[in-house]
């Protein structure tokens, strides 16, 4: 799949856990969720993203999740596996595992404890990309990773390393997307990872929207993409504002927390997020129920 | 004009100065510029905005500029006069003058030295609005004014004071526009004042674009508005990216500085900005010439 | 006074106003306040600073205040007049007036509406300094001026212009003071303008503390300086923490607002600040009364 | 050691690695380093802090390091083991291990990927503190952990949980220390973790300085503490400015990176930091050599 170009709605499932604080990955629930997302029409599936609590899993849990998700996707749509690790060593190991398990691409987030300089970022991405043959999507998410990748740096990586071919921008700043388009004459496919920017990112030319929202409201999410694809700005605006309260709510409360609460409301028990993350409290759950009812 | 609702391109002329550091307002050049903007099809004219160096003029210069600009507009299109003053006393005086000279609306920016709390902001706006009968546009521009007005506060002002009817958002954050729309069920007309956000602000439902860009590139600016009005997202994106380098350049260099340099390149001598602002340097002017040539 | 080197407590009086919104400068109250500050032992007096509402006065009020303050000081201690103006033209005019009225130094704050680049900052300071023969103190206060002067830029100005000889740092960041000391081998006298940093700025080697606090609590302010001058860290820490609640309160509420309220509590009617600034509300005034009682 | 109160210089060793990217923990080098720090007069030893690359080690490496460091300390001075983990589960496990291996206290940093709300922070700290009987030091370091603990929250934790008894503040903002002192009437021992703030933090009343600098310049570090303890402000300032260039350099370049490079210059091979962290480059190493020569 060297020529893989993702387009449309890239859906991020949560990683369901069995009950109890020690509960492991619930692969049956994950399979059900993946099926729902594909049945709803999502264009790609991305397990082990920020929503998938990738950073909170131990190695064995991570492998289990990757295998189960890829088996559930079963090549019906492209699968992009998230690799977010503090050390290059682990990132390489997980990326290799993902490829061998059938991932069509890996999405790499350079987490940081000590700040990384550009040289260190380049070496990290190069090491991971060199370790696999599938395409690599650079994932910029300063709010969770603690490191902010400039458009210039990301475009430079795309130019230097053959299988780094896509960028996911989650800074929430549409000017970054403008810059990516300008630096590459519109040739680099970029993806929006900031839910409340979905309308504007598409307006700015994003190839896709990376989002956990289809776990809860697949209809409106896909309708926004259709309206944009059809060039119908008024319809896109209408369906965007309709779903915006849900998009804002799930982001503000933390995606694993809120999406798991929403899935329970919709009848799919995905367990609770990993401590120190706590389940959504009662008032929050009641509010989410209202928002889902008003949106669907 | 109680029911004034602006729509489209609200054009901001610079305030031309006669040669020399002591040079006063060049009303002839201002008249020429206003004529050009109206002839190009701009939907409203807004003298004495940030671009108009309102904050740098002494009282007499300010009055001269207001009168000359309003005379030049001659009610062919609505005229919105900017009122940005550190003291409430002066803001009231200037707003009254603008109304008597024929302004259709005033745009009020609450400049700050000492930070203002909400109570102080409300009193300032109320005092200015009470002093006139024309509509008042709230102008939020934290980068120049040093004070950031939340959507909630602005909507509250609109609800409290009858002739406060419009909001101009120049923070550059499209989420503020979403919030304005949500808080008023889309009823409050809001205007975008951040040039590089023009495409996305229209996508988000902005009623207009407040911009100095038509001084230099009226064609592409108006074409963007037309594409949006026609609901043609692909055309809007194309013409936006074409003009974006100019929009970025004129904002980054300071609008009075760059727009005056650009007007000189286009054959209209508008003088230089007021010290401490300096004229655009030679390499900047050369770059601007290139960008204008590539855009027009 | 070419060799003027300020040391110790530089006290900033408010500018008292007569009653009513149109009330002019109350020079009698200003004279009383200046007398109090000098009698208390302050080492210099600085009218027309941020506390003095310099930015809110019209030209005539500003001149009246400068003359009255300088007459009140009557060369008993050095007088430093603040010059904060948006245009270079007005800053030059006010600096010249201050010198002719007897100022021993001028303190220059480069206010901004449009951001200034380094070239513009240098030209502004050079123009003001060239217009007078008294020493110039660079005043860095990004929170009120909207422009942040780097230590490197300020040291460069000191090196380039003969009568620019002092720096007042009000960013609140003690690392800036370290940098000033390092860049000049400790030769450049720098002054702290951030009240809650008074202890640490002295520890870092500040030559003085520019503060409005002596209007309300001259005893503790001067005691802190004495303890530092005597090298007695434990005594300095004790008297600092005793006055810190007042320092924090007056800064948080805006110095003109809170200091005028405090002066009224102490029996000196200095009027209210200029609109849009409002007088301190009742709960705030009650709290200030408690803090003053606990500190004096 | 329920009544443990640390005071003075708490020294943070790096975690030495054997050569090669796969090189494990070099316990012999760690033992040598710990001996040096104690011989120099440091008042406590804190392995597995930010400097110790705690976040980059796998479980087995972490256990090996904790055991080796505690064996090397051999109860000559108190030992504080750092526990920084994304999940509560792992933080509890590591804290328990540290206690069983002989730690006198644990220092807990609540790392974040998804932002934690106050409820989640409280639950995390309570869970770790409940799992051990040794004292817990709260570690606030927003720059590396991505989460900023307010003084109010930290003081609340100290009040709620018996064995949470100390706070390490590494935000670099001395006002946080003022607040800690005010909220507890000076009763809560707080420690400074920001190297360039060492002088001012002691002035503000810090009980100690948590620092990796003694790995390279133990003499000046201990001399600063002695001067402060003796209340000699002038001596403290002198020795602080002498070592400040080294403190700034090692912080700016990342402590594991620069301290390992400095140790090599001093003849102790501690290996290189874990990828993606890269060794200090040649110009940086040359500069560090100069600074060390000028400081020692």
What are the DSSP calls for chain A, one per residue?
Answer: -TT----EEEE-----B-SSTT--B-HHHHHHHHHHHHHHT-SEE-TTSTTTTGGG--HHHHHHHHHHHHHHHTTSS-BEEEEE-SSHHHHHHHHHHHHHTT-SEEEEE---SSPP-HHHHHHHHHHHHHT-SS-EEEEE-HHHHS----HHHHHHHHHHSTTEEEEEE-S--HHHHHHHHHHTTT-S-EEE--GGGHHHHHHTT-SEEEESGGGT-HHHHHHHHHHHHTTBHHHHHHHHHHHHHHHHHHHHT-HHHHHHHHHHHTT-----PPTTS----HHHHHHHHHHHHHH-
Please say if the pLDDT value at position B28 is more than 70: yes
What are the DSSP calls for C24-44, one per residue?
Answer: -B-HHHHHHHHHHHHHTT-SE
Indicate yes or no: CB of C178 within 8 angstroms of CB of D196. Answer: yes
In terms of phi and psi (left: phi > 0; alpha: psi -120 to 50; beta: otherwise), the region of A270 is alpha
Return the closest-CA partner of residue D113 out of A12, A233, A254, A121. Answer: A254
Phi, psi of C240 (to 5 degrees): -65, -50
Residues of D in contact with C200 (CB under 8 A): 174, 199-200, 203-204
pLDDT at D23: 85
User: What pLDDT, in 10s, does the model give residues B233-292?
Assistant: 999 999 999 999 999 999 999 999 999 999 999 999 999 999 999 999 999 999 999 999
Is the separation of the CB atoms in A246 and A212 below 8 Å?
Answer: no
What are the DSSP calls for A248-279, one per residue?
Answer: HHHHHT-HHHHHHHHHHHTT-----PPTTS--
Domain count, chain D: 1
pLDDT at C23: 85
Return the closest-CA partner of residue D269 out of D4, D9, D13, D18. Answer: D18
C2 part of a folded domain: no
Residue D233 pLDDT level (bands cut at 50, 70, 90): very high
Length of chain B: 296
Residue B112 pLDDT level (bands cut at 50, 70, 90): confident
Q: CA of D173: which chain C residue's CA is closest?
A: C173
pLDDT at C17: 97
Q: CA of A176: which chain B residue's CA is closest?
A: B196
pLDDT at C296: 76
D3 part of a folded domain: no
pLDDT at D68: 98
Tell me the three-class secondary structure of chain D, residue by residue. CCCCCCCEEEECCCCCECCCCCCCECHHHHHHHHHHHHHCCCCEECCCCCCCCHHHCCHHHHHHHHHHHHHHHCCCCCEEEEEECCCHHHHHHHHHHHHHCCCCEEEEECCCCCCCCHHHHHHHHHHHHHCCCCCEEEEECHHHHCCCCCHHHHHHHHHHCCCEEEEEECCCCHHHHHHHHHHCCCCCCEEECCHHHHHHHHHCCCCEEEECHHHCCHHHHHHHHHHHHCCEHHHHHHHHHHHHHHHHHHHHCCHHHHHHHHHHHCCCCCCCCCCCCCCCCHHHHHHHHHHHHHHC
User: What pLDDT, in 10s, does the model give residues C210-269?
Assistant: 999 999 999 999 999 999 999 999 999 999 999 999 999 999 999 999 999 999 999 999
Cross-strand bridge partners of residue A81? A106
User: What pLDDT, in 10s, does the model give residues A93-119?
Assistant: 999 999 999 999 999 999 889 999 999
Is the separation of the CB atoms in D271 and D260 below 8 Å?
Answer: yes
Please say if the pLDDT value at position B57 is more than 60: yes
Residues of C in contact with D181 (CB under 8 A): 241
B188 part of a folded domain: yes
Phi, psi of A229 (to 5 degrees): -60, -35
CA distance A181 to A151: 9
Selecting among B168, B191, B241, B260, the annotated active-site residue is: B168
C61 touches chain D (CB under 8 A): no
C155 touches chain D (CB under 8 A): no
pLDDT at B1: 43
Catalytic residue list contains A168:
yes
User: What pLDDT, in 10s, does the model give residues B129-145?
Assistant: 999 999 999 999 999 99
User: What pLDDT, in 10s, does the model give residues D120-169?
Assistant: 999 999 999 999 999 999 999 999 999 999 999 999 999 999 999 999 99
Q: Which of B207, B233, B237 to mutate to test the interface with A (most CBs of A within 10 A)?
A: B233
Is the separation of the CB atoms in D168 and D139 below 8 Å?
Answer: yes
D159 touches chain C (CB under 8 A): no
Mean pLDDT across A239-268: 98
pLDDT at D83: 96
CA distance D122 to D127: 8
Task: Kindly report the CATH number assigned to the domain that includes residue D204.
Answer: 3.20.20.70
D2 part of a folded domain: no
Selecting among C12, C139, C191, C260, the annotated active-site residue is: C139
D243 part of a folded domain: yes
Please say if the pLDDT value at position D92 is more than 60: yes
B3 part of a folded domain: no
Structural domain for D27, as ranges: 8-295
Mean pLDDT across D71-88: 96
CA distance D246 to D288: 7
Residue A1 pLDDT level (bands cut at 50, 70, 90): very low
The more confidently predicted of residues A296 and A1 is A296
Mean pLDDT across A60-65: 97
How many inter-chain contacts (A to B, CB under 8 Å) are there? Answer: 65
D1 part of a folded domain: no
Name the residue facing C200 among D172, D181, D203 (closest C-beta): D203
Q: Token pair of D120, please?
A: 């989640």
Q: Please confirm whether the linkage preceding A276 is cis (ω < 30° from 0).
A: yes
Q: Which of A17, A24, A113, A254 to mutate to test the interface with D (most CBs of D within 10 A)?
A: A113
Helices D233-252/D218-229 angle, 10° precision: 140
Catalytic residue list contains C260:
no
Please say if the pLDDT value at position B56 is more than 50: yes
Please say if the pLDDT value at position D296 is more than 90: no
pLDDT at C1: 43
Q: CA of C227: which chain D residue's CA is closest?
A: D233
Half-sphere exposure of B150 (CA within 13 A, CB side): 7
B1 part of a folded domain: no
pLDDT at B22: 74
Interface predicted TM-score of the whole assembly (ipTM), two decimals: 0.96
Please say if the pLDDT value at position D255 is more than 90: yes
State the nearest Cα–Cα gap between D294 and chain C, in angstroms. Answer: 14
Mean pLDDT across B61-71: 98
User: What pLDDT, in 10s, does the model give residues B195-218?
Assistant: 999 999 999 999 999 999 999 999
Please say if the pLDDT value at position B158 is more than 50: yes
Chains that touch C (3 or more CB pairs under 8 A): B, D
CA distance B42 to B13: 11
Residue identified by tokens 């319809």 is A235
What are the 10-residue block averages of pLDDT along chain C, 296 residues in total?
81 95 91 98 98 94 98 98 95 98 97 93 98 98 94 98 98 98 97 98 98 98 97 95 98 97 98 96 98 93
Average pLDDT, chain A: 96
D19 touches chain C (CB under 8 A): no
Mean pLDDT across A245-254: 97
pLDDT at A51: 97
Q: Token pair of A91, please?
A: 């990132």
Distance between alpha carbon A79 and the CA centroid of its chain, in Å? Answer: 11
């Amino acid at each position: 799949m060297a020529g893989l170009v993702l387009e449309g709605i890239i859906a991020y499932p949560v990683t369901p856990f069995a009950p109890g604080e020690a509960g492991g990955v619930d692969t049956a629930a994950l399979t059900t969720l993946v099926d729902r997302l594909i049945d709803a029409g999502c264009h790609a599936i991305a397990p082990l993203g920020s929503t998938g609590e990738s950073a909170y899993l131990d190695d064995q849990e991570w492998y289990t999740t990757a295998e189960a998700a890829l088996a559930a996707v079963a090549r019906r749509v492209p699968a992009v596996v998230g690799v977010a690790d503090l050390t290059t060593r682990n990132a390489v190991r997980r990326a290799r595992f993902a490829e061998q398990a059938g991932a069509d691409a890996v999405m790499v987030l350079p987490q940081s404890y000590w700040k990384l300089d550009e040289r260190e970022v380049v070496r990290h991405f190069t090491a991971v990309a060199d370790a696999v043959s599938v395409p690599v999507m650079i994932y910029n998410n300063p709010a969770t990773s603690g490191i902010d990748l400039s458009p210039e740096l990301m475009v430079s990586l795309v130019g230097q390393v053959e299988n780094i071919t896509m960028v996911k921008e989650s800074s929430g700043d549409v000017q970054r997307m403008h810059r990516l388009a300008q630096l590459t004459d519109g040739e680099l496919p970029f993806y929006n990872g900031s839910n409340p920017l979905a309308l504007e990112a598409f307006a700015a030319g994003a190839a896709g929207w990376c989002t956990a929202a289809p776990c809860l409201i697949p209809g409106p999410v896909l309708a926004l993409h259709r309206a944009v694809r059809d060039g119908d700005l008024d319809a896109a605006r209408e369906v965007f504002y309709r779903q915006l309260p849900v998009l804002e709510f799930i982001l503000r409360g933390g995606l694993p927390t809120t999406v798991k609460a929403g899935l329970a409301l919709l009848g799919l028990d995905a367990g609770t997020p990993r401590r120190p993350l706590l389940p959504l409290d009662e008032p929050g759950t009641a509010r989410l129920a209202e928002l889902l009812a008003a949106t669907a």
